[in-house]
Structure 1
Amino acid sequence: MNPLLELTRIVQAAAQASSDADQVELIVESIHRAVGVDVCSLYISQPDHSMLLAASRGLDPRSVGHTLLPEGTGLVGLAARSRHPVNVAEASAHPDFRYVAETHEDAFHSFCGVPLVRGGQVIGVLVVQSREARLMSEEELAFLVTLSTQLALVLPMDPAAISRARGTSQRVRGVKGAPGVGIGKAWICDRDDLYKVPDKACADPEADLRQWHALLEQVTQEVEQERRSLEPGLSDAVTAVFSAYQMLLGDSQLRDGVAMRIRAGQWLPGALRQTVQHFADVFLAMDDPYLRARHEDIHHLGNKLYAAWTGNDARPVSSGKGPVVLVGSKLSVSDIAACHPDRLQGIVSFEGSTLSHTAVLANALGVPAVMGTGGLKQLNNGDTVIVDGNVGQVLLRPAASVKREFRRLQQAEQALKGELAELVNESATTTDGQRIRLFANTGLLADISPGLANGAEGVGLYRTEMPFMLSDTFPSEEEQEHIYRQVLGAYAGKPVYMRTLDIGGDKPLPYFPIEEENPALGWRGIRFCLDNSALLMTQLRAMLRAGRDSDNLHILLPMVSNTGEIDALRSLLDDALAQLGDEGYPLKRPPVGIMVEVPAAISLLPTWAPRLDFVSIGSNDLSQYLLALDRNNPRVAAAYDHLHPAVLREVARVTAIADEVGLPLSLCGEMASDPAAVLVLAGLGIRTLSMSAARIPRIKWLLRTISQADAAALAQRALHMEHAADIRELLQQALRERGLERLLNST
């Protein structure tokens, strides 16, 4: 046996299994064959920490799915409890041995159990047994230990789901797409995927070119019709989402890319696939989750164009009665538009993230959504589905009692929405009179209207990367000005904080590739911009021109870590103002500030104060750099918590420094939309918070319900605690005591 080849083969096969049940069966069968033992079994940890026999080769098959070992019982329990392999030649002689009659394991003497550990928790035990009374060799044991480590990463996130029979209730975890609870019958939106189209020679390039231009015109009209079908009585965000699709359809890079490939001899579907994959892969390679999510928009559009070419774009969900939950791997706005708003109760996407266009639209429509669930292989059309967008979970075929409880939550959610709608035009003022401004984070034009509709008092973070990502060349000054002017105009009279280009290192441009061993600490943010000062000058000029008729532009610098970076930016801004003044633009110098996300910036804030007009804490990056944790890495994400004592103490230090030197301070990131964290932030004296638009009403309600004095007392208690879990429990209990427990169900 070649251990490396066997490891690779078993792990790859397990990862590609068509269902959870098939996966565990394949695992035990492959190990049984590779190691040459008489028995191979997989025990899976249950919620009460008992161990269920989920699969076996060699034990009585009737015991699979039924044999349950209480926590700590037998040699399996010993392996789980000790988190160390148990390797014995004669199992029955071991003091921890427990005979399980229904497995009929009498004939087997040796026992070797290896724990499967993920995220610090034992999720199962892999067991091999032999009729011969022998110890597993060092090589065999090393193979099993290595294999168990890798298998722990490919087993389902909810290992207990492995043992559930088909047709029974099932809970699946995903990520929050849009808040709320929805209950309805599943409608699976499957269609031909453009990415499965093969390459093929083009028989008649001129005919394919004509068909390509006709397809563009047809789909452009369809997108406009879909926009109109959703538009009445809904926010402008719906229109903005479709506008993004129309922008892509009109983009010369898409049009010309397909045409070029057709002329090179590729048939139309193949040319479309190659072009779409090229642009989608550019975004998919980004480490920034917001930019990475944009690859889905391009894939959605490619599928729509391909469906129009095949003529298979019909969606029967547009007819019929009753509540519907749309389910699919790549749900698009077209799928949503095909369902009557009164029927649409929820959205479940196998792929995607909180930043997907699907999630953006779900938020705008007020439809609960869960993203990134992975394929729900045991789900059929018509199955009852509960979409819990508040915590990012999906319940398949729930029991009647579970449905009743979620209907109660659904009614409570609707009542809360009604109450919060009355606060849209009210300020976020504490009961003892302290005003806190609530801003929105945006990046797409589609994100703008939801912020205004939810009462945003400005834009705390506008990401300017998008024009650079959508082009095959650096966008011109005029192109950037056009986009920035729309954002500033939409928020006329309200402050807009525009972050300069945060790209480089881990977010390379398709036409400016960068390769680094450690991109998180590399050529990114202000470092990249200053090293490419001509690009930064163009962007500064575009911002200044866009803001010439208003006074709401604020320029925000990312990833600042030294004084020279601020001085260099100020010098470039002086030059830009002088140039535009000579060109006849009467301009006023906008306020300039930095994002505090590199820990080094904290100590230098007093030195920088005379050079700055404001500061903004970027809580996501600051937390990651302080904790040395990538919250998007599933192996360490569980340890990430912005309520970590070190994070809270550094936020408190920044707040104190800003107050001492007289710098206006804001905070953006997930902390700003976490009700527990907001108690601390308000108590520390932070008076401006920026968050996703959907979270503004809830945070406003929270702030209007508490006093500044209470928040300050809670903040001081939190700052003296040592564990993030204890801090969170303190703050959540404070919310319950103040009658705000409903916020805990919607975070």
Structure 2
Amino acid sequence: MKDPMLELTHILQAVSFIDTPQQQIRFIVDSVSAAVNRDVCSLYRVNTKHEMELLISHGLQVNQPICIPAGKGLVGLVAKERHGLNLAIASAQSAYFYVQGTKEEQFNSFCGVPLVHHGEVVGVLVVQNKKAQVLSEQEEAFLLTLAAQLAFIMVNIPKSHDIGVKQNIRYKGIKSVEGIALGKALLCGLTQLSEVVDVHNDKPQESVQEWQKLLSQVQDDLINEQKSLGDNMSPSICSIFDAYHLLLSDVVLSEKIEEYIYDGFALPSAIKHGIYFFANHFKKMADPYLNARAEDIIHLGNKLIHIWKGGGKHASVEHKSPVILIGAQVSVSDIASIPSEFLAGIICFEGSSLSHTSILANAMGIPAVMGIGQIKNVDMHDFMIVDGNEAQVILQPSALLKKAYKRLIRQEQKVTIKLHSLKTLAAITLDHYEVELLTNTGLLADITPGVKSGAQGVGLYRTEIPFMVGDSFPSEDEQVRVYRRVFEAYEGKPVYMRTLDIGGDKQLPYFPIRHEDNPALGWRGIRFTLDNIQLLMTQVRAMLRASSGMKSLHILLPMVTSSHELTQFSIVLKDAYTQLQADGLSMHWPKVGIMIEVPAAVSQIPLWANRLDFISIGSNDLSQYLLALDRNNPHVADRYDHVHPAVIHEVYRTVQLAKQYQLPLSLCGEMASDPIAVVLLMGMGIQRLSMSAAKLPRIKWLIRNIEVQWAQQILADCLLLDDVDDIRCHIQQAMKDKGLQDMFKIDDRKMKRG
């Protein structure tokens, strides 16, 4: 065969432009048959009965559905043994299984390779030939490599009875935020310039006319988008639209694209080269603000390509009905641009349950599903269902299915009403152990839900979110206005404000941190702010000014790993306080604590105890670093679990150290809202939990219906277990025995795997 890597690249590039999984697999089997010069290429899928179901074939005669019984035939053998099989004479093998009616007997050779997704065999790719000869090592390696890519397509192919049906198309993803949402799709993250393949043409005049028409269409489209957002647009979002209008009206941009057209490029190729020409100029500029304008140009180029491909007719969306944001990565700006009363759900092709988008959705109580893989057959305004409870997305739901899901929503609303009666009651156990429940927040839109849920304060205010929504660093006065509203909403209650925590999965659009091989271990948290001390000084001054006249402010430092960082921050805080005192501002000295999210911090608690007022366990990052699992990587998301034995033991050690050195302790992150984890935390003696407002009422109900002694016994049992599935199973059974299961949709994902 030709160069296998070139063949593979060609096939995968072409597949990326094909709309549906069915069309994709048809193209693949035809292309593979040609690439390895074999008569037959077939794709089998494992069905619910563990049979090998023939999905599609190039070369076999298929007049009816074909299923090879479980464990039978060479295809079944490949699936069972999970490795390839390369034979010159297939029929000579004892495992050979003839399928009637396919005329398979005329093909002698057989090569099958398994398709594996998240450790499970989901299908088998087979090639056959009349001539009795095995595939070469190069050809077999080509099939193995392609099969690894094909597995991701396989999981999104509708079941056999759904093929050809345009209703109830289901996509499975990663559980992010529980709940159910029905609404119309609003696409985020448009077609990428990088996907455009260079194509030449010999009709430049026609392409120039097409460009002028497209330019006018995009300008009209931007105006319509601004009108649809109306008064809900923040100044930062307005400035983005202004930048787009300026770029589109710049004659130099238009002339450059026309220049590429006259050089022989088709319109999309000319747009790509023209946009990249100007973007690269901005990227070379030393000024961070001008450098970041390259992103604006790239985004505009993506929009031009999207509308050229036919996306323009759906560009405007009036937010007068429930909206479901869907895209590869739904951004903070996307979320902030939709009025909260109309934002029903979020779907991301990429990401995990602990990606930043997922955390934001959780904070706002918006049903969300992550990591569902690329969906190509969805368009703007398509009606869809987000089932966060089962981590699935349903396109084009039937009337019957809509009715069933609406019934589930009504049931959930009844539970919510029941839980609302707990708002003014304390989170106190049956044996009189009281727990303080606080809320996580970061968006102003998320302040009210916490108050309504009965939160006793803010356990984690993510100050980076106002930074991420804008297109430049917010001024001190801007920060004061935002922070002041938080203090006023929770007057008389503690507010734990975390200093700017960017880096890793949280990037600022106007100050991106690039060229880090491992961002999670890179320039983030306190490391970033101490290196940009002017930003930290401005933020600390804003916190102090906003909390003037109140005793609510608690400052949280993220990613602390050394005493030097504590010393440096103390100097900044003292300087900021002294400056504001000199200006005549009356304020209280804030309490200062650190996030326990890096394992190195746990061991240093005894050394830092006399320098800290409190500590807060950041369970998301602590779990990630202890398990060496990237929480945003969908390939390993299923292995991440905050009740892993290593996490439980380290959290327990932290709690014991805090008690020994009389340091007030709280815990935030997803662990605080997972009922199974909360049972363990109650057993450890934690008395302060911070979580999203949406999760708070259920956790309060749980605490009010258990005894600490019961939780302590469960903790003792689980500290002896070495498997996360066993831990979840043990606690789930204990909760069922106590009659607690009806209030919780307990995540039994790990149990099923075990």
Same fold (TM > 0.5): yes
Q: Which residue of 1 aligns with 2:153?
A: 155
Report the Cα distance in structure 1 between the residues aligned to 2:191 and 2:3, rounded to whole angstroms: 38
Q: Which amino acid aligns with 1:166?
A: G
2:419 is the counterpart of 1:432: no
Query: CA offsets per residue over residues 202-240 of structure 1, 9 Å max, x none?
Result: 99xxxx9xx99x988x97776457xxxxxxxxxxxxxxx
* 1:142 positional shift: 1.7
What pairs with 1:559-638 in structure 2 (closer than 5 Å)? 559-638=559-638
Report the Cα distance in structure 1 between the residues aligned to 2:132 and 2:222, rounded to whole angstroms: 70
Report the Cα distance in structure 1 between the residues aligned to 2:614 and 2:68, rounded to whole angstroms: 60
Q: How many residues align?
A: 685
Q: Which amino acid aligns with 1:3?
A: P
Query: CA offsets per residue over residues 260-305 of structure 1, 9 Å max, x none?
Result: 76356558xx99x989x99xx99xxxxxxxxxxx99xx99xx99xx
What pairs with 1:690-701 in structure 2 (closer than 5 Å)? 690-701=690-701
Q: Which amino acid aligns with 2:242?
A: R
Label 1:660 to 1:70 Cα distance change in 2 as closer, same or farther (>3 A): farther
Give RMSD over aligned pairs. 4.4
* 1:535 positional shift: 2.5
Sequence identity (%): 44
Q: Which amino acid aligns with 1:587?
A: M
Q: Which residue of 2 aligns with 1:60?
A: 61
Label 1:248 to 1:515 Cα distance change in 2 as closer, same or farther (>3 A): same
* 1:704 positional shift: 1.3
User: For the Cα contact (< 8 Å) 1:6–1:34, is it kept in 2?
Assistant: yes
Report the Cα distance in structure 2 between the residues aligned to 1:405 and 1:645, rounded to whole angstroms: 39
Q: Which amino acid aligns with 1:552?
A: S
Query: CA offsets per residue over residues 155-195 of structure 1, 9 Å max, x none?
Result: 14445647731226443224567643457xx7566899798
* 1:102 positional shift: 3.0
Report the Cα distance in structure 2 between the residues aligned to 1:512 and 1:407, rounded to whole angstroms: 42
Query: CA offsets per residue over residues 621-673 of structure 1, 9 Å max, x none?
Result: 11111111112212111111111111111111111111111111111111111
Label 1:192 to 1:631 Cα distance change in 2 as closer, same or farther (>3 A): closer
* 1:500 positional shift: 0.9
Q: Which residue of 2 aligns with 1:100?
A: 99
Label 1:407 to 1:738 Cα distance change in 2 as closer, same or farther (>3 A): farther
User: For the Cα contact (< 8 Å) 2:184–2:383, is it kept in 1?
Assistant: no
* 1:558 positional shift: 0.5
Q: Which residue of 2 aligns with 1:291?
A: none
Q: List runs of 5+ in structure 1 lacking aligned partners.
A: 226-241, 283-293
User: For the Cα contact (< 8 Å) 2:187–2:380, is it kept in 1?
Assistant: no
* 1:498 positional shift: 0.9
* 1:676 positional shift: 1.1
Q: Which amino acid aligns with 1:134?
A: Q
SS in 2 for 1:135: coil
Report the Cα distance in structure 2 between the residues aligned to 1:359 and 1:596, rounded to whole angstroms: 18
Report the Cα distance in structure 2 between the residues aligned to 1:316 and 1:257, rounded to whole angstroms: 21
User: For the Cα contact (< 8 Å) 2:186–2:381, is it kept in 1?
Assistant: no
Q: Which residue of 2 aligns with 1:231?
A: none
What pairs with 1:232-311 in structure 2 (closer than 5 Å)? 242=232, 245-251=233-239, 255=242, 258-259=245-246, 262=249, 265=252
Q: Which residue of 1 aligns with 2:688?
A: 688
* 1:476 positional shift: 2.8
SS in 1 for 2:455: coil
Q: Which residue of 1 aligns with 2:456?
A: 457
Label 1:504 to 1:412 Cα distance change in 2 as closer, same or farther (>3 A): closer
Q: Which residue of 1 aligns with 2:446?
A: 447
* 1:467 positional shift: 4.0
- TM, length-normalised to structure 1: 0.80
> Of 144, 163, 166, which residue of structure 2 is paired with 1:165?
163
Report the Cα distance in structure 2 between the residues aligned to 1:111 and 1:498, rounded to whole angstroms: 63
Label 1:407 to 1:507 Cα distance change in 2 as closer, same or farther (>3 A): closer
Report the Cα distance in structure 1 between the residues aligned to 2:542 and 2:343, rounded to whole angstroms: 42
Q: Which residue of 1 aligns with 2:647?
A: 647
Q: Which residue of 1 aligns with 2:662?
A: 662
What pairs with 1:468-617 in structure 2 (closer than 5 Å)? 468-471=467-470, 473-504=472-503, 507=506, 509=508, 510-511=510-511, 513-617=513-617
Report the Cα distance in structure 1 between the residues aligned to 2:319 and 2:125, rounded to whole angstroms: 45
Label 1:380 to 1:140 Cα distance change in 2 as closer, same or farther (>3 A): closer
* 1:394 positional shift: 3.0
Report the Cα distance in structure 2 between the residues aligned to 1:161 and 1:48, rounded to whole angstroms: 13
Label 1:421 to 1:506 Cα distance change in 2 as closer, same or farther (>3 A): closer
Q: Which amino acid aligns with 1:246?
A: S
User: For the Cα contact (< 8 Å) 2:430–2:706, is it kept in 1?
Assistant: yes
Q: Which residue of 1 aligns with 2:47?
A: 46
Label 1:468 to 1:656 Cα distance change in 2 as closer, same or farther (>3 A): same
Label 1:192 to 1:380 Cα distance change in 2 as closer, same or farther (>3 A): closer
Report the Cα distance in structure 2 between the residues aligned to 1:409 and 1:744, rounded to whole angstroms: 14
Label 1:489 to 1:521 Cα distance change in 2 as closer, same or farther (>3 A): same
Q: Which residue of 2 aligns with 1:394?
A: 393
Q: List runs of 5+ in structure 2 lacking aligned partners.
A: 197-206, 258-270, 284-294, 748-754
User: For the Cα contact (< 8 Å) 2:555–2:592, is it kept in 1?
Assistant: yes
What pairs with 1:342-361 in structure 2 (closer than 5 Å)? 347=345, 349=347
More moved, 519-528 vs 380-389: 380-389
User: For the Cα contact (< 8 Å) 1:609–1:661, is it kept in 2?
Assistant: yes
Label 1:274 to 1:592 Cα distance change in 2 as closer, same or farther (>3 A): farther
Q: Which residue of 2 aligns with 1:26?
A: 27
SS in 1 for 2:561: coil
Q: Which residue of 1 aligns with 2:202?
A: none
Report the Cα distance in structure 1 between the residues aligned to 2:428 and 2:515, rounded to whole angstroms: 48
Report the Cα distance in structure 1 between the residues aligned to 2:668 and 2:552, rounded to whole angstroms: 18
* 1:61 positional shift: 2.5
Query: CA offsets per residue over residues 492-530 of structure 1, 9 Å max, x none?
Result: 111111111112466554347543222221222111222
* 1:11 positional shift: 2.2
Query: CA offsets per residue over residues 425-475 of structure 1, 9 Å max, x none?
Result: 222211111111222111221221221122221111111123433555543
More moved, 410-419 vs 482-491: 410-419
Label 1:157 to 1:612 Cα distance change in 2 as closer, same or farther (>3 A): farther
More moved, 735-744 vs 516-525: 735-744
Q: Which amino acid aligns with 1:416?
A: V
Q: Which amino acid aligns with 1:661?
A: Y
Report the Cα distance in structure 2 between the residues aligned to 1:199 and 1:360, rounded to whole angstroms: 43
User: For the Cα contact (< 8 Å) 1:345–1:368, is it kept in 2?
Assistant: no
What pairs with 1:151-230 in structure 2 (closer than 5 Å)? 151-152=150-151, 154-158=152-156, 161=159, 164-167=162-165, 169-174=168-173, 179-181=178-180, 223=229
SS in 2 for 1:436: strand
Label 1:624 to 1:81 Cα distance change in 2 as closer, same or farther (>3 A): same
User: For the Cα contact (< 8 Å) 1:675–1:743, is it kept in 2?
Assistant: no
